[in-house]
Chains A and B, each alone.
Chain A
């Protein structure tokens, strides 16, 4: 098996008295889709945000590409090639697809004049590379796109910048059946291109459709790490709702002492 692209070892994060993550191990390999599942409050978002550099981990080690790293802010994460597509997608409705894909990183000539034709060209290449074919034109405003197309644009925007690890937060939550299909296909293609993909989802059907492995969080701890091919939805549901905890919440000290 390939070595891990991202490796979190025993990472913890507390917000005051709330232990959001407790000694979680989490890894993603290049070219695989890792699903991150768990009930509300299980710590999925916290883990994602820590990896993306929005919060620091309290303890634990993170390795990217085998080298130990500490990510202090989203900019540093982006420099490593870690990109997150949040649920709200962060697209400007009034701008066209190209402008959104290049937002904040516009190509310019003479330091300030937009190089529209090169941006439009690159945007089209990227979308075609991802086989996003439902998009009519890269000069169309995002306001006119369907949910699935928006998701595709947000994903394309993230992978455009040589990203190596893409984290998708609930990418299919607001989508219909056909559009979910498109997005899941896109996720698969990203993994085939060698990216590590993390998909955070509540929808186990989607997870089984697209993921290679599944990490289950429960109350801030990792309760299971399963190969999607040799587990069942039932098993995952069981882990989400009743997975064995290494330590009992609210009894932090004891838990630490035991392990």
Chain B
């Protein structure tokens, strides 16, 4: 029999590694000794990193670098108020980017998300006008989301049923929805700006949790994480499968608790944790669950990895594609509403500027592959955090717009380079 280099325990160390304990020890599979200890786990993780399984490591290193660079260059970067500002600034980008991650996972692209998000914000705002329809906030918000989800559906139908590439369909969508935003905003106001006067909607991105609630949310989040980790480990052990050692779980939970605690403490020294941050975290948990724990999520990855294999396995590929574009539309709508709430208005330039660039860059910087099948929902958050903190830092330094674009572009390039180099490393090690 051939021994692949990959079956060598030195090399084979993905982030999740199941092990054939029942194999006769004489066989050189090398994986029958699971390191169910902290040391073994760390060793395996490090081997994975060396083999190119970087996970979120580069982006965390990147964030630390950004924090050091801007912290040194500008005194106000570390002011509490700037931290809560940053959280407010990245909320909409992260929300829209979650939808983009799903689209990238099936190997498609959605260039229309930015203007679709504006359509969501504008339709909600117009329905709220006190001198107009004057709808209650929940109805206007619901219709806004319905409209953007429907846009996703229509674009997906053209893509799947007519077989037009998503790049072209959503490029057309970009123009169409930009036009719709312009028509609507200029029709209902001479200045091109429509203000939002509903307190609940304005509150979405302008309210803060009280200090106590901030702590409660942090505690609930960390507790839920600990519970699911323990639950998973227990159910795997019950089946005789290898599981994360308790020491690793304890360390991870402690790490999460420290980071969350520090963030809440820091935010509470200013105005508190923004409500919208809580919304984004809930969305993150929900969509992460959908992507990694449900049958639908599995099918999304399968369609992105090998659509033909998915089709032959009995998966309705078109239905998965349509659902994904609807998710992108829904999340774009939500992002647009968050953005409108933060600005307390919508204007003719809604959805324009660098919004599209930022949401796609966020997903890609976070580690989602443009070729489909690889990536995680968390990459939307991490990517948005990187893009947001660079923009924030450069804003504090009063850099010219041109300089900002150049730097953001270089960061995007660096992220893609890290990804392609690590892919090459995996390939060289036989991981691909």
Contacts and interface: CB of A to CB of B under 8 A. Distances in A.
Contact of B16 (A121, A139, A149, A178): A139
Contact of B17 (A90, A103, A121, A139): A139
B2 A148 contact: yes
A179 B4 CA distance: 11
Given A106-B298, A117-B241, A141-B14, A128 B2 contact: no
A146 interface: yes
A74 B312 CA distance: 9
Contacts of A99: 298, 301-302
Contact of B1 (A105, A124, A134): A134
B315 interface: yes
Interface string B10-36: 001010111110111001011100000
Contact of B18 (A105, A112, A138): A138
Nearest to B431: A144
Given A94-B301, A114-B298, A136 B306 contact: no
B313 A93 contact: no
Chain B binding surface SS class: loop
Interface in A89-147: 90-96, 98-100, 103-106, 108, 112-114, 117-118, 120-121, 124, 128, 133-141, 143-146
A182 B1 contact: yes
A137 B19 contact: yes
A113 B20 contact: no
Given A94-B374, A121-B240, A143-B432, A137 B18 contact: yes
A118 B241 CA distance: 10
Given A92-B301, A133-B27, A182-B1, A117 B236 contact: yes
Given A75-B314, A136-B31, A179-B2, A90 B20 contact: no
A90 B306 contact: yes
Interface residues of B, number: 52
Say which size band chain A's interface belongs to.
35 or more
Contacts of A108: 294-295
A106 B295 CA distance: 7
Contact of A104 (B18, B296, B313): B313
Given A92-B309, A106-B295, A133-B27, A139 B18 contact: yes
Given A134-B29, A139-B14, A114 B294 contact: yes
Contacts of A181: 1
A112 B296 contact: yes
A16 interface: no
A95 B12 contact: no
Contacts of B296: 112
A250 interface: no
Nearest to B34: A137
B315 A104 contact: yes
Closest 4 CB pairs of A and B: A104-B313, A92-B305, A94-B373, A94-B305
Interface of B: 1-4, 6-7, 12, 14, 16-20, 22-24, 27, 29-31, 235-236, 238-241, 293-299, 301-302, 304-306, 308-310, 312-315, 372-374, 426, 430-432
6 contacts: A90-B308, A93-B373, A103-B309, A108-B295, A133-B27, A178-B1
